[in-house]
């Protein structure tokens, strides 16, 4: 992964994944959450950004090859108690 300049971050609460332009490559649900747990990825650096996609996390999941561009930053808006690992560049 080093040759592609990827970065990895794990989180279980609302967070700014990247504060500038970025691309989400993969998302892993590393710890499942309770019913209704989800992560909403938003274009921007706050919860008021535009929703790009949602990962539901009641079950463990591996989502590879997403390659979704975010022009204004990547913000993860968390509902529930799951944990996520995101690969981005």
Domain that holds residue 83: 2-88
At 10-65, the pLDDT tens digits run: 999 999 999 999 999 999 999 999 999 999 999 999 999 999 999 999 999 999 99
Question: Which pLDDT score, from 0 to 100, does residue 61 have?
Answer: 92
**The total number of structural domains that make up the chain:** 1
Q: Supply φ then ψ for residue 33, to 5 degrees.
A: -115, 180
Which 3-state string (H, E, C) describes the chain? CHHHCCEEEEECCCEEEECCCEEEEEEEEEECCCCCCEEEEEECCCCCCEEEEEEECCCCEEECCCCEEECCCEEEEEECCCEEEEEEC
Question: Which pLDDT score, from 0 to 100, does residue 5 have?
Answer: 81
Question: Which pLDDT score, from 0 to 100, does residue 68 have?
Answer: 96
């Amino acid at each position: 992964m080093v040759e592609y300049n990827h970065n990895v971050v794990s989180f279980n609460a609302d967070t700014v994944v990247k504060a500038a332009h970025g691309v989400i490559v993969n998302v892993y649900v590393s710890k499942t959450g309770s019913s209704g747990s989800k992560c909403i990825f938003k274009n921007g650096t706050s919860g008021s950004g535009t929703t790009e996609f949602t990962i539901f996390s009641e079950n463990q999941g591996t989502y590879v090859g997403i390659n979704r561009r975010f022009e204004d930053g990547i913000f993860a808006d968390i509902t529930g108690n799951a944990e996520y690992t995101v690969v981005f560049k």
